[in-house]
Structure 1
Amino acid sequence: MKGDYKTGKRININKLIPYIASSYRKDKIWLRRTKASKRNYQILLCIDDSFSMGINKANILALESLALLVKSLTSLEIGEISVMKFGEKIELLHDFNNNFNDFNGSYIIEKFNFKQKQTNWKLLLENTMNYLNQAKLSNNNNRNNSNGIENVQLCFIISDARIQQDRENLRNNIMDCINRNQ
């Protein structure tokens, strides 16, 4: 715990008396945790680009959710963010290696048209597992993982959840992801 902040977790007792003596104006009396996290997050956001999303007007909610998640995660500086759209075809719109900014965000939103005829869930899960495995391997090679930082991968799937394929195979694919700590 370090620092002189206006908000925080604990009060710095040494700053308390000057705070009261200044008629409560010198209010930087709080301490915060400043140690870096022992985890590096790789977060993949998958958005359904199928026609059914447009029928229910879930497309607007999906894009708002995408913007909210990206803004929140970048402000927390939690790690790397990647965005993928899926339907009949899968397309990676933003990969982990690029920093996220407003220009990238507008480019990503323009790529969604919500006109794909169906959602291929099996293809999505297979591509997601392969992409996350490749990202983990390249991340381990780049950082050599000698500093003890754990790589954690998360995948958020934003969809209307209309699953036409075999649900049992999808369940098995999801269990494979869980077993790989993805």
Structure 2
Amino acid sequence: MRRLIPYIASDYRKDRIWMRRTKKAQRDYQSGLISGSHCSGRLRKYEREWDSPGRPLMVTCESVCIVEDALRRCDAGGVAVCSFGSDVKVINAFGDHMMPGPELLQKLSFNQSSTDLLLLLNRSRQMLRDVRTPTSEQLLIIISDGRGALAQGAEKVKAALAALQGVTVLFVILDSGPKSICELSVASFQGENVVLTPYLSSFPFPFYAIVKAVTQLPSTLAESIRQWFEMTVQTNSI
């Protein structure tokens, strides 16, 4: 308490704790939040049936808004928000002023019928490359149901991920549908035999998180970003 009173009286400027918190970071953090605008028919059905605020699509949009606002308020570097489906739409680019939450919420939608992950990764690479500096630490968070990740070929997606050099990519899987993604299988032929392998064993994204209850999405995003910050600090201190 003795330290707190002069801290407040100094208008939050002269105290050593405040100086440490306001010191410019040695790294330049840039985070991209990508929300999938494609949604399976089954999930749309559940979206219509579930009551607010537990509806998966609305909670997803709200979560993106909350995390985007929090990153900007804590001065955690540049933040961009995009949506993707058959194309990629930049909603709030790096360097843009913070968009009001209701406006950002209106621009996020789930009305596209397909997903083009290769286009998303290529566009993300270009966007992040344009703002990269020698001290950049870059994070790309993709939020989607993950069902179309193999449609364009796992190896092509892995190649596109490899081209994102220096970028940590996290795929957050919304697993709110009637059948869990953990239960899905992929069929392949070995000679004349059909072999079923778990879908996630072929999932091309090495870092992913599965969100079973959509209400856990905000805390999952927050914890993922916290761990990323922690990882970059530890890496740069070596």
Partner of 2:162: 175
Partner of 1:74: 72
Shift of 1:93: 0.8
3-state secondary structure, aligned to 1:84: strand
Answer whether contact 1:46 1:85 (CA < 8 A) is retained: yes
Computing the radius of gyration from Cα coordinates, the structure with the larger value is 1
Partner of 1:162: 147
Answer whether contact 2:35 2:82 (CA < 8 A) is retained: yes
Q: What is the total number of aligned residue pairs between the two structures?
A: 146
Answer whether contact 1:81 1:100 (CA < 8 A) is retained: no
Partner of 2:116: 120
Shift of 1:96: 0.7
Q: Distance in 1 between matches of 2:152 and 2:6?
A: 59
Shift of 1:41: 1.3
Answer whether contact 1:50 1:86 (CA < 8 A) is retained: yes
3-state secondary structure, aligned to 1:51: coil
Shift of 1:56: 4.8
Shift of 1:28: 4.7
Length-normalised TM-score, structure 1: 0.69
Q: Identity of aligned pairs, percent?
A: 23
Shift of 1:174: 1.5
Shift of 1:107: 2.5
3-state secondary structure, aligned to 2:110: coil
Deviations 1:46-77 (Å, cap 9, x if unpaired)? 10001326345431231122022112212211
Residues 33-182 of structure 1 aligned to structure 2 (within 5 Å): 33-34=20-21, 35-52=23-40, 54-57=44-47, 58-102=56-100, 105-136=101-132, 140=133, 150-163=135-148, 164-177=151-164, 180-182=165-167
Answer whether contact 1:84 1:90 (CA < 8 A) is retained: yes
Length-normalised TM-score, structure 2: 0.54
Deviations 1:100-152 (Å, cap 9, x if unpaired)? 142xx32222123311011111111111111111222xxx4xxxx6xxxx122
